[in-house]
Amino acid sequence: MEAYYDLHCHLLPGIDDGAVDMAETVSALKIARREGIRTIVFTPHDSYGEAVAGSSRLKALMEAVKAAAEEAGIKDMHFFCGNEVWYTPDSIGQLRRGEILSIAQSRYVLVEFPVNVWYKKLYKAVSELVFAGYRPVLAHVERYACLLRRADYIEELTRAGGLFQMNTDCFGRPFPEPDLRWYRNLVKQGSIHLIATDAHGNGKRPPEMDRAVKWIKKHCERELAYTILFRNPEMILMDGMQGKDTKQIRNGENDGLR
């Protein structure tokens, strides 16, 4: 079985609105493994509750999850930390101070907005993050009303340095509503860069990947499917491990993601 990546999930125990305890986390990891996922970035909401959880707490929880997973016989999965960042004027400072985390210590930041966000605010946030040396990955792009049927906005945000992540549950319905069909067409056109489960546990929103993978392999050209499923997530993780110079983003150079 091929090994897939999940760069957006809420499976750290007891930290946000995801897995409630370690037992649910381990159960969800078993589901993820059956679905072919072998690399997970835990991305709890940075805005959950009264205060940001803090990078040290997240990393400690991740180490506890590693130990629990190994004890449960899950020995072939790789784990990293990040946050799903609710973008505010303070977010860039918090990222720089390490109070909230980018994806696996890379310059890529999983960022979310209100579903009814104005496009001008969305574009401004993307531009601010890019100017600060980060590469924003818009979480669950299918939720933002301002982007629906606006291919021009999608293209403009991409040129500005934004990337788009789509949730895997968008591919589970055989007869999707028209709005979802429009976003699926974006996938076929190569405008979506990543898919992720956005899993919150082992029940209502489990880490399911297989249906989405099958849809992409069936409807996308082979090279595009490989890029979405493997090349792009690998580039993000390699960026975190190698500490590449963020100046190339400010200069508008191609960093390898497609």
Average pLDDT, integer, range 184-201 = 97
The residue range of the domain holding 213 is 4-250
Sheet holding 4-6, edge to edge: 4-6, 37-42, 78-81
The pLDDT-based confidence of 174 (bands split at 50, 70, 90) is low
Is 255 within a domain? no
CATH code (residue 245): 3.20.20.140
CA distance 37 to 209: 7
The pLDDT-based confidence of 56 (bands split at 50, 70, 90) is confident
| pLDDT recorded at residue 255 | 58
CA distance 126 to 103: 16
CA distance 119 to 225: 29
Alpha carbon dihedral 226, 73, 40, 224, in 10-degree steps, equals 10
| pLDDT recorded at residue 175 | 59
Question: How are the residues of the chain apportioned to helix, strand and coil, as percentages rounded to the nearest 5?
Answer: 45, 15, 40
Is 134 within a domain? yes
Q: What is the pTM of this model?
A: 0.92
Is 246 within a domain? yes
Which pair of tokens denotes residue 129?
């993050």
Is 166 within a domain? yes
Three-state SS letters, 9-38: ECCCCCCCCCCCCHHHHHHHHHHHHHCCEE
Is 126 within a domain? yes
CA distance 6 to 229: 9
The pLDDT-based confidence of 48 (bands split at 50, 70, 90) is low
